[in-house]
Amino acid sequence: MKRNIFLFVVLSVSIIILFGLNLMTGSVHIPLSDIWTILAGSFTGKESWRFIIWDSRLPQALTAMLCGSSLAVCGLMLQTAFRNPLAGPDVFGISSGASLGVALVMLLLGGTVETSLFTASGFLAILIVAFAGAILVTAFILFLSSVVRNSVLLLIVGIMVGYVASSAVTLLNFFSSEDGVKGYIVWGMGNFGGVSMSHIPLFAFLCLAGIIASFLLVKPLNILLLGPQYAESLGISTRRIRNILLVVVGILTAVTTAFCGPISFIGLAVPHVARLLFRTENHQKLLPGTLLVGTVIALLCNLICFLPGESGVFPLNAVTPLIGAPIIIYVIMKRH
């Protein structure tokens, strides 16, 4: 018990420290005292510094926290429900569905979505089609879950859906223009800086709603650990819980992918880090622990991206595998 309290305190303090470092790190050096006065609303110095903090670094740090925690929770729920350590939002093809939607708009439709009801372009168009693509794949997997009762087979179907989506994206890239391919590749690298301060309330509301829904599933997830037969004997419908879980995961993945691009490895690796730290499978402790670890790792990855300073910024998906891949290799070797 004391160990868990200590870990929660350490992770919370780490989040505060990393959040401050994210506000301080960038091509323009802004002293911590000035950052504090900017956030407090009493800053009287350079207007450009106020713009950098409020319109760039602060929303980026908040986005990293929300995205990291959301993807980590998604990975934990999928790994528990499907009893597979390699289950994750990107493995299920949900991220690939969002990527396919964005590819259709950027590579085929010229960045504009036109319907009889509305016309959208730029960031709004990408947001709409990424969300729609992820939700459609989730709905397809949800439909198959009523036909395929085996969790492992359903996981394999999700992987195949991801391969089909990736194949379609490859064909669109082949026939697209150079500018379209470049824009899509940049989006596919992932970026916590794509959410402006005006979009933060909507992004935060959707992420927090999904996270709260995941906490309501703690008891069913603990029962699923004992096996589907035991869960059914207690009156728990495993198929119903799995369907609800897929909806929550689909919405969270759709939101994070639409706003930030396809972020790799966080949803897959973070639950394993939380299990190693907390040494428990009880989701009453593991779920909040995974949420905090996901926040820490996302803030750390975002900080590493900005370490080059004036020389540029690393792509996010070039950093996340450096942390996630060794963890997955360790877990596989340990299980073997």
Q: pLDDT per residue over 175-207, tens digit each?
A: 777 777 887 888 888 888 878 888 899 899 999
The widest CA-to-CA distance across the chain, in whole angstroms, is: 66
What residues contact residue 195 under an 8 Å CB cut-off, 6+ apart?
A: 59, 60, 62, 63, 203, 259, 260
Report pLDDT for 117.
61
Write out pLDDT tens, residues 309-323: 555 678 888 888 888
Q: What percent of the chain has pLDDT over 70?
A: 92
Whether pLDDT at 44 is above 80: no
- CA-CA distance, 155 to 78, in Å (whole number)? 10
- Would you state the structure tokens that stand for residue 78, as one six-digit string? 């999928």
Q: What pTM, to 2 d.p., does this model score?
A: 0.87
Write out pLDDT tens, residues 281-300: 889 999 999 999 999 999 99
- Would you state the structure tokens that stand for residue 319, as one six-digit string? 């950093």
Element (H, E) at 64: helix 58-81
Report pLDDT for 122.
67
Whether pLDDT at 118 is above 70: no
Write out pLDDT tens, residues 56-75: 899 999 999 999 999 999 99
| Averaged pLDDT, 253-277 | 88
- CA-CA distance, 127 to 257, in Å (whole number)? 9
Whether pLDDT at 92 is above 70: yes
Whether pLDDT at 212 is above 90: yes
Can you point out the beta strands (E) in 78-172? 112-114, 119-121
End-to-end, the C-alpha distance of the chain in Å comes to 30
Mean residue pLDDT across the chain: 83
Report pLDDT for 187.
81
Question: Class of 2-335 per CATH?
Answer: mainly alpha
Give the rounded distance of the alpha carbon of 210 from its chain centre. Answer: 12
**Buried-exposed string 250-262: b where 16+ CB fall within 10 A, e elsewhere:** bbbbbbbbbbbbb
54: DSSP letter: I
What residues contact residue 90 under an 8 Å CB cut-off, 6+ apart?
A: 96, 162, 262, 264, 267, 268
- CA-CA distance, 162 to 130, in Å (whole number)? 14
C-beta separation of 90 from 320 below 8 A: no
Please state the domain extents for the chain.
2-335
Confidence of residue 335 (pLDDT cuts 50, 70, 90): low
Look at the block and give the residue holding tokens 């323009």: 28
